[in-house]
Copies of this chain bind each other. A is one copy, B any other.
Amino acid sequence: MPDRILSAISQQTIDHRGPDFAKVGLRALDGLKSIFKTQEHVFIYPASGTGAWEAALVNTLSPGDRVLMFETGHFATLWKKLAEKLGLWAEFIEGDWRGGADPDQIEAYLTEDKAHEIKAVCVVHNETSTGSVSPIAAVRQAIDNANHPALFMVDTISGLASLDYQHDEWGVDVTVSGSQKGLMLPPGLSFNAASAKAMAANKSAKLQRSYWDWAEMVGPNKTGYFPYTPGTNLLYGLNEAIDMLHEEGLENVFSRHARHGSAARAAVRHWGLEVLCFAQGQESGVLTAVRLPEGHSADAFRASTLEHYDISLGNGLSKVADKVFRIGHLGDFNDLMLVGTLAGVEMGLKKANVPHAEGGVQAAMRLLA
């Protein structure tokens, strides 16, 4: 986390019902719209991202509703389990964890649903477990092609403020996100951006809700307040983060991440290893998941690299446990930090005797220069 944000969150907590709070609240509520690229309401929860997943569903759906989800990886799977726990009928289009959601499959699935029983389509934008990005605008088009009225919900917890995201332009009904990735904050805030259609659905949705209920938020939010105690200090940090993103320029932030993704993949390919994401053009600028050759434990490699080079690589989750490691390049990250990170991986491969061609770092530098 940048020092500016650490400094912002360590200011004294002010009274969330006092007159000074309104400025903090309004600035956050308005500022988030520019980040989600929406004119609609963005709800802020004092909760981590899992809470905002739940909020998206309970605010718009009723017990037993069918929802269509796409198995992009571990987090899509967790969201599906959560939906089932809430009493929804969640259906999965299975995936191989090597790319984003497939609009064609979604279109076909929805076309079959003549009765329009499916009430929502849920897709993960940036799948943190695999480093694949789903084509959100194309999924929107797929729903439209099928003439299907389902709500469209997108989780961009790890994509927002790193990858281009356009809530309004892409016709998303509910966007779910959180504070601890592209917004460079500690975990503890999460968000729902909601379209007019989602707000309408909220009126008839029967799933039980209180903490997550949008309806209670709208009124107090108008003047910058919240119906219950908000995460005041993280809101300070959020406002600082939004300022930082606009100072750099959102488009510059996006292209920085795209360059870093390309450079990381150049290194991986030079090493002779495989990037987990197979789908051309769907590789993430936020993280790169890498498969180790058969017979090599990714977790042993990660532990060795942490010990020798003080670098913490992400682990493979569930289906790819011990098979992949993940290189993060999100948030407040510059070219030299990326090279340092890739150097840690390359030295770690050597130390752990993982077969690879030396020179990946140099390959990444060639791309960055």
Contact = CB atoms under 8 A, between A and B. Distances in A.
Interface of A: 1, 3, 6-7, 9-13, 15-19, 45-51, 54, 58, 63, 82, 85-87, 178, 180, 186-188, 207-211, 213, 228-234, 306, 309-312, 315, 334-337, 339-341, 343-344, 346-347, 350-351, 358-359, 361-362, 365-366, 368-369
A153 to B, nearest CB: 16
26 contacts: A1-B12, A9-B10, A10-B10, A13-B180, A17-B315, A46-B46, A48-B228, A48-B231, A49-B228, A63-B208, A85-B209, A85-B210, A186-B231, A186-B233, A208-B208, A335-B344, A336-B340, A339-B343, A339-B344, A340-B340, A340-B343, A343-B343, A343-B361, A347-B369, A350-B369, A351-B369
Contact of A233 (B9, B351, B362): B9
A165 B107 CA distance: 58
Nearest to A236: B186
Contact of A186 (B18, B232, B311): B232
A347 B365 contact: yes
Contact of A334 (B10, B310, B346): B310
Given A86-B208, A187-B230, A347-B369, 19 more contacts: A6-B12, A13-B187, A18-B312, A46-B47, A46-B51, A50-B210, A85-B209, A86-B210, A178-B229, A186-B231, A188-B188, A310-B334, A336-B344, A339-B343, A339-B344, A340-B340, A358-B362, A361-B361, A361-B365
- Residue in A207, A334, A343 whose Cβ sees the most chain B Cβ within 10 Å: A343
